[in-house]
């Protein structure tokens, strides 16, 4: 079960309920993936609600690995999400809100 006080969320991906969390290591992974942007720049980047599919794959993958999963970004790209494309975006938004604060955190 996810603990929002630790920034964890739950999401159904590939038909399985999973926990995701952006640990410090996961955030460092995202900084590297997004060209060295710092944590606040990453949060600001996604605040607009405009996100590419590749961005969602990276964020979800980092969240799964932060929670101890071994899924690669390639594995994440093959996973389905409840609600299709909107479901992926909802997972990313929920994870970022749990990590950086805001409504629902």
Please check the confidence at residue 104 and state whether its pLDDT lies above 60.
no
pLDDT tens readout for residues 61-89: 999 999 999 999 999 999 999 999 899 99
**Angle in degrees, CA 98, 100, 103, rounded to 5:** 60
What's the token pair of residue 44?
A: 């600001």
CB 55 within 8 A of CB 62: no
Q: How confident is the model at residue 98 (pLDDT cuts 50, 70, 90)?
A: very high
* Residue 50: both structure tokens together: 């405009």
Question: Smallest Cα–Cα separation from 68: which of 18, 1, 15?
Answer: 18
pTM metric for this prediction: 0.89
Cβ atoms of residues 104 and 97 within 8 Å: yes
**Mean of all residue pLDDT scores within the chain:** 90
Q: Where are the domains of the chain?
A: 4-100
């Amino acid at each position: 079960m996810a603990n929002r006080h630790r920034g964890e969320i739950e999401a159904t991906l590939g038909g399985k309920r999973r926990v995701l969390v952006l640990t410090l290591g996961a955030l460092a992974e995202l900084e590297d993936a997004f060209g060295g942007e710092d944590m606040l720049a990453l949060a600001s980047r996604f605040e607009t609600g405009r996100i590419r599919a590749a961005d969602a794959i990276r964020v979800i993958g980092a969240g799964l690995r932060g929670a101890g999963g071994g899924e690669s970004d390639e594995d994440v790209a093959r996973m389905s999400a409840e609600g299709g494309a909107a479901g992926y975006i909802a997972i990313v938004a929920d994870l970022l809100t749990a990590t950086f604060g805001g409504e629902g955190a």
